[in-house]
């Protein structure tokens, strides 16, 4: 009885309980003064409790009935919404069993073989569901939605798939899921977006690379005709895109057109590059253009600035090419002509004067080449080291390499010098400050320097390089001496040495190191040599170079020669004239073997280009060589490398030698097809 009363009391709400307590208290007080009222009070209180419980139960029943009615209405509305959905809707299990299709789905795809499309779509969705279900982090968010985009009969749909686990396939021991898939037609939105994008402005800059050379080499009578012919070709080419061309300077044009024509220009490989080369000039001189086009930027000025930056890259890569900038990426077209040597040394003199002032203003100097240094990077570094020491500054060369290529040179330097010259990464990081001048030689790429962290430790940076410019260039350098016509970084440093205001007396080993750098990159003055290359070599000869000693640094021992001969023997030829070989052994000096083998392959008749692949341990390296007919730099750039038309290299991670070889063949095929 007590339990029954207790349960009855518990079903009452809190406000009713308070009222009953107040009534009971008042009745108890009354009974204390009038004992005869005890029994009537108990009866009265019992009636009140009975009434309270009765009305409370009745109210709960009414609320429950109302909630039930509301739930039925909501379920009906939900079902009606699904049935009358304005979007095509299908409920399907991931094993392919269709549970239900909306009427909109049936009418939307009645003229289409939708079943095969749905089967492929469900397979893709199932893969994503399993990935999501196996991802513990994704499970925490409990996101059961898959988003995709699909094209059906020239219509584009956004796919929204909601899934729940339905059953387990006992035979395959796999989970199956029930998926509700919405098809939202976004075709019109895509068309509007494309129309908007197509009408956006692209801004380009066109430059005649060798304008000064042309003006100097042709007669006064021919100048107007040649310039008129060049300009006519440019205007005719631009008119195909309904673009506007404005001549900004003697050799520079600004080109404005709608973005919808950009794909056509790329498909045609910027044919204007070849068209202007057909203009006949005396002496075999060839006209080349550099083109930079940008679609990136909120305003026209930002696009113009972006195009200017692209032009710096095009010229830094030797000209005769087009560069486009879209979505944060550069694309390159052309670039098959040899770099043109600049006859004037004005820039070298200006750089030398500016560099001297910067060295004097700096507290100390750190000099750094590229990773896996070679004789050119060490030799040019030694030239800059002697300039800094002559100007009374503390200087060091940062070097982490000591392979077969540079070991004899470093040993010779250490024997001749009385003080420490070469330091490792840890010491360099401990020495560098914001007042330190960091000189980078023989590379301009952030990812290729010996110690990339040093670039973030100082704002004073000088870059001296001769390789064709890539996208990963050091863009915050105070001074950049980047000339792709030069044979080597050693040649550029030698020119700077001649124009420094203070007389610089090179030590014998430093002179020989600079000479060796030029010899290495020109293959004994065979490739990529110009008038200024021989002038730099002549200057170093005056400083006292022992050529026999230098040649000994390049000698291979008998064992290495046998290895190189085997690599040459194993070479296979693609496209009738391109040799590809693999150095099978894993070797920390594989890059040296590959380079020498690639050089050796070019001595074989009918071989116009060679590529040798090797494994240095943590990376697979490629050495590319050419006699000039094939641009190995363009090919290896597609694999993340760089260099010059006749000499280039690349390093790849996470791939086997055979995979690298296949990738290389694919890029060669693309190059030959283009």
Q: Flag whether 321 is in a domain.
A: yes
Beta strand 620-626 with 609-615: parallel, antiparallel or unpaired?
antiparallel
Considering 505, 521, 553, which residue would you say is the last residue of a domain? Answer: 553
Q: How far apart are CA 238 and CA 282, in angstroms?
A: 27
Same domain assignment for residues 357 and 277: no
Is there a single domain that holds both residue 454 and residue 529?
yes
pLDDT of res. 7: 45
pLDDT at 359: 93
**Distance in angstroms (rounded) separating the CA atoms of residues 232 and 229:** 5
Cβ count within 10 A of residue 179: 23
Nearest to 488 by CA among 466, 510, 463: 466
Give the domain extent around 22. 2-70
Report residue 162 as tokens.
């909601």
pLDDT value, residue 6: 44
Rounded to whole angstroms, how far apart are CA atoms 663 and 73? Answer: 63
Residue 577 neighbours by CB distance under 10 Å: 15
**Three-state secondary structure of 209-258:** CCHHHHHHHCCCCCHHHHHHHHHHHHHHHHHCCCCEEEECCCCEEEEEEE
List of residues 6+ apart from 216 with CB closer than 8 A: none
Same domain for 16 and 66: yes
Looking at the structure, tell me whether residues 541 and 572 fall in a common domain.
no
Query: What confidence score (pLDDT) does residue 5 get?
Result: 46
DSSP letter (8 states) at residue 654: S
**Domain end marker among 138, 166, 192:** 192
| SS3 labels along 296-328 | CCCCHHHHHHHHHHHHHHHHHCCCCEEEEEECC
Please indicate, yes or no, whether residues 519 and 616 belong to a single structural domain of this protein. Answer: no
94 and 53 within one domain: no
Confidence (pLDDT) at 344 = 57
pTM for the predicted model, two decimal places = 0.58
Q: What is the CATH number of the domain that holds 132?
A: 3.30.450
Q: Are residues 411 and 462 in the same domain?
A: yes
- Number of structural domains (the chain) is 5
* CATH code (residue 435): 3.90.1640.10
- Interior/surface letters 228-252, b for 16+ CB within 10 angstroms, e for the rest: ebbeebbeebbeebebebeeeeebe
Specify whether 410 is located in the same domain as 514: yes
Which residues share a beta bridge with 169? 174
Whether residues 534 and 628 share a domain: the answer is no
Q: Is 636 found in the same domain as 587?
A: yes
Please, which residues have CB within 8 angstroms of residue 480's CB and are 6 or more apart in sequence?
444, 462, 463, 474
Rounded alpha-carbon distances, angstroms, from residue 99 to 91, 180, 276, 576: 5, 10, 65, 60
Angle at 567 between CA 565 and CA 571, to 5 degrees: 115
Contacts of 138 (CB under 8 A, 6+ apart): 132
Read off the CATH number of the domain in which 254 is found: 3.30.70.270
- 574 and 606 part of one domain: yes
Q: Which residues of the chain have pLDDT under 70?
A: 1-15, 59-84, 136-142, 167-174, 283-284, 335-345, 403-405, 555-557, 674
Based on the fold, state whether residues 546 and 633 are members of the same structural domain: no
Domain end marker among 172, 192, 212: 192
């Amino acid at each position: 009885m007590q339990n029954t009363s207790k349960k009855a009391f518990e079903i009452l709400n809190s406000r009713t309980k308070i009222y009953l307590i107040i009534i009971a208290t008042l009745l108890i007080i009354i009974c204390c003064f009038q004992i005869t009222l005890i029994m009537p009070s108990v009866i009265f209180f019992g009636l009140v409790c009975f009434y309270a419980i009765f009305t409370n139960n009745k109210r709960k029943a009414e609320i429950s009935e109302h909630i039930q009615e509301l739930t039925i209405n909501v379920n009906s509305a939900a079902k009606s919404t699904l049935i009358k959905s304005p979007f095509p809707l299908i409920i399907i299990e991931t094993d392919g069993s269709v549970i239900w299709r909306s009427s909109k789905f049936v009418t939307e795809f009645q003229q289409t073989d939708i079943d095969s499309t749905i089967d492929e779509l469900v397979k893709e969705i199932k893969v994503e569901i399993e990935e999501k279900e196996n991802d513990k982090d994704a499970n925490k968010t409990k996101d059961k939605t898959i988003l995709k985009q699909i094209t059906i009969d020239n219509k584009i749909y956004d796919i929204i798939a909601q899934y729940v686990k339905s059953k387990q396939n006992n035979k395959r021991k796999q989970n199956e899921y029930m998926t509700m898939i919405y098809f939202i037609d976004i075709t019109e939105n895509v068309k509007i977006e494309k129309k908007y994008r197509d009408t956006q402005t692209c801004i380009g800059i066109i430059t005649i690379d060798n304008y000064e050379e042309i003006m100097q080499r042709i007669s006064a009578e021919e100048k107007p005709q040649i310039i008129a012919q060049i300009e006519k070709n440019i205007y005719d080419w631009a008119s195909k895109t309904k673009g506007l061309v404005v001549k900004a300077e003697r050799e520079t044009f600004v080109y404005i057109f709608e973005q919808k024509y950009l794909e056509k220009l790329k498909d045609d490989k910027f044919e204007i590059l070849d068209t202007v080369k057909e203009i006949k000039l005396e002496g075999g001189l060839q006209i080349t253009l550099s083109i930079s086009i940008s679609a990136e930027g909120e305003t026209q000025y930002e696009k113009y600035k972006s195009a200017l930056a692209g032009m710096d890259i095009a010229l830094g890569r030797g000209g005769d090419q087009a560069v486009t900038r879209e979505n944060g990426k550069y694309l390159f077209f052309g670039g098959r002509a040899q770099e043109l040597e600049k006859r004037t040394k004005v820039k070298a003199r200006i750089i030398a004067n500016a560099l001297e002032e910067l060295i004097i203003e700096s507290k100390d100097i750190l000099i750094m080449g590229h990773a896996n240094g070679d004789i050119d990077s060490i030799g040019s570094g030694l030239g800059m080291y002697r300039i800094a020491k002559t100007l009374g500054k503390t200087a060091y060369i940062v070097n982490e390499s000591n392979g077969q290529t540079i070991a004899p040179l470093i040993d010779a330097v250490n024997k001749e010098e009385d003080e420490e010259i070469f330091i490792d990464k840890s010491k360099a990081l401990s020495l560098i400050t914001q007042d330190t001048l960091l000189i980078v030689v023989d590379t301009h790429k952030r990812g290729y320097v010996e110690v990339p962290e040093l670039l973030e430790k100082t704002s004073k940076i000088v870059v001296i390089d001769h390789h064709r410019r890539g996208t990963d260039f050091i863009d915050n350098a105070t001074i950049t001496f980047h000339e792709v016509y030069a044979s080597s970084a050693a040649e550029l440093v030698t020119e700077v040495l001649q124009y420094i205001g203070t007389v610089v007396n090179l030590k014998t080993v430093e002179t020989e190191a600079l000479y060796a750098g030029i010899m290495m990159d020109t293959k004994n003055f065979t490739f990529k040599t110009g008038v200024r290359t021989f002038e730099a070599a002549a200057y170093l000869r005056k400083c006292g170079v022992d050529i026999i000693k230098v040649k000994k640094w390049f000698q291979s021992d008998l064992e290495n020669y046998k290895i190189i001969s085997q690599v040459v023997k194993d070479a296979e030829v693609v496209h009738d004239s391109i040799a590809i070989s693999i150095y099978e052994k894993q070797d920390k000096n594989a890059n040296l073997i590959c380079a020498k083998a690639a050089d050796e392959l070019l001595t074989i008749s009918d071989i116009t280009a060679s590529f040798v692949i090797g494994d240095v341990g943590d990376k697979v390296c490629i050495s590319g060589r050419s006699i000039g007919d094939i641009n190995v730099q363009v090919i290896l750039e597609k694999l993340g490398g760089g260099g010059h038309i006749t000499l280039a290299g690349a390093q790849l991670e996470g791939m086997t030698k055979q995979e690298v070889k296949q990738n290389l063949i694919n890029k060669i095929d693309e190059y030959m097809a283009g």
